[in-house]
Structure 1
Amino acid sequence: MLLTKFTHACVRLEQDGRVLVIDPGVFSETAAALDGAQAVLITHEHPDHIDAPPVLAALAADPLLVLHAPAGVAASLRSAAPDQAGQVHDAAPGERFTAAGFAVQCFGGQHALIHPTVPMVANVGYLIDDDVYHPGDSLVVPDGVGVGTLLVPVHAPWSKVSEVVDFVVSVRAPRAFPIHDALLNENGLGFTEGHISRIGGAHGVVFRHLDPGQSVEL
């Protein structure tokens, strides 16, 4: 499986001509990420995880493209594009389905707390082919499964370094790569990734930095 990181939280998975894209948001190169995709997974409604106009355009351009998202996000997309309603599906914790030929399991339920005055929204984390776990905007450890490749939200308004490191240690995936990093400059990114690499490494996790556009074979 080939994993390509796009800016911030977006990743593209490719295998045997099949393409699955997760969280093409406004900080990401959405059109490039979606080129040739057969399926899209959205973790939650925030625009840094779904850039709605190009996503809707991609659905309209390809009637075989399907999208899975939490119910509220899916309903909004179906309302905005009734002609593509049949391509948009709800996703919820505990569900399993196949997207672009990849096996998908759903975990989580809600977005991490930003502040008590900020309303919670639904968030679904996705485990792909019993290997790649994208948690969206949460640090929910998937239960009852092993994770081979962890995508780590390294920085967010809702997290701190100790929580991110504890998440990495708790999941204990053999390998980990960064996501959710568009708000950090090079200094902040190096500081945070250094802690993840050092402490995660003591628990058997090999953390590797990926630049936007960089790919890795899993």
Structure 2
Amino acid sequence: MKLTKFTHACVRLEKDGRVLVLDPGTFSETDQALAGADAVLITHEHPDHIDVEAVVSALLGSNVLQLFAPEGVAAQLRGKSDGAAERIHTVAPGEDFDAAGFAVKSFGGQHALIHPQIPVVANIGYLVDSNLYHPGDSFIIPDGVEVRTLLVPIHAPWNKVGDVVDFVIGIRAPRAFQIHDALLNASGLGLVEGHVTRFGAKYGTDFRHLDSGESVEL
């Protein structure tokens, strides 16, 4: 399985000629990420995780593209995607389903708390092919499974460095790459990734930074 990292929280997976895209948001190169996609997974409704205009355009421009998302996101997209509504699927935590030939398990349920006065929205974490885990905006550790490749939310309004390190230690995946990194400049990114690299190594996790557009085989 080939993983390509895009800016912020978006990644593209390719396997056996099929393409699965996770969280093509407004900070990301959505047109490039979604080109030829067979399925899309959305973790939650925030614009940095879903570029609604780009996703609707992709749905209407394809006869095969399937989309999976929490209920609120799915309902919004059905209202904007007349003719593609049957290809938009609601996902809840604790489900197993197939997305374009990729085996997917869902975890979590809600977005991490930003502030008590900011409403908490639904958030789904996805484990793909019993390998790659994308938590969206949460530090939910999936139960009953082994994660081999972890996508780590490096920086967000809802986290701090200690939370990031504890998440990596808690999952102990053999390898990890960063996501949710567009809010930091190079100095800040280097600082946080340095902590993740150092502490992750103590618990068996090899952390590596991926530039936007860079690919790696999983």
Q: Normalised by the shorter chain, which TM-score bucket?
A: over 0.9
- Counterpart CA distance in 1 for 2:170 and 2:27 is 28
- Counterpart CA distance in 2 for 1:13 and 1:80 is 26
Whether 1:9 and 2:9 are equivalent positions in the alignment is yes
Alpha-carbon RMSD across the aligned residues, in angstroms, is 0.5
**1:82 Cα deviation from its structure 2 partner:** 2.4
In the alignment, which residue of structure 1 is the partner of 2:88?
A: 88
Amino acid at match of 1:144: G
- Counterpart CA distance in 2 for 1:87 and 1:54 is 16
In the alignment, which residue of structure 1 is the partner of 2:21?
A: 21
In the alignment, which residue of structure 2 is the partner of 1:111?
A: 111
The Cα offsets for residues 131-169 of structure 1, whole Å up to 9 and x where unpaired, read as: 000000000000000000000000000000000000000
In the alignment, which residue of structure 2 is the partner of 1:42?
A: 42
The count of aligned residue pairs is 218
Length-normalised TM-score, structure 2: 0.99
**1:65 Cα deviation from its structure 2 partner:** 0.3
Which residues of structure 2 form unaligned runs of 5+? none
In the alignment, which residue of structure 1 is the partner of 2:172?
A: 172
**1:100 Cα deviation from its structure 2 partner:** 1.0
- Counterpart CA distance in 2 for 1:57 and 1:117 is 33
**1:81 Cα deviation from its structure 2 partner:** 1.7
- Counterpart CA distance in 2 for 1:97 and 1:159 is 30
User: What's the secondary structure of 1:83's corresponding residue?
Assistant: coil
In the alignment, which residue of structure 2 is the partner of 1:71?
A: 71
- Counterpart CA distance in 2 for 1:77 and 1:55 is 9
The Cα offsets for residues 77-100 of structure 1, whole Å up to 9 and x where unpaired, read as: 001122211110001100110001
Length-normalised TM-score, structure 1: 0.99
In the alignment, which residue of structure 2 is the partner of 1:32?
A: 32
In the alignment, which residue of structure 2 is the partner of 1:55?
A: 55
- Counterpart CA distance in 1 for 2:154 and 2:37 is 26
User: What's the secondary structure of 1:56's corresponding residue?
Assistant: helix
- Counterpart CA distance in 2 for 1:124 and 1:96 is 12
In the alignment, which residue of structure 2 is the partner of 1:206?
A: 206
**After the TM superposition, which segments of 4 or more aligned residues of structure 1 sit over 4 Å from their partners?**
none
Amino acid at match of 2:115: H
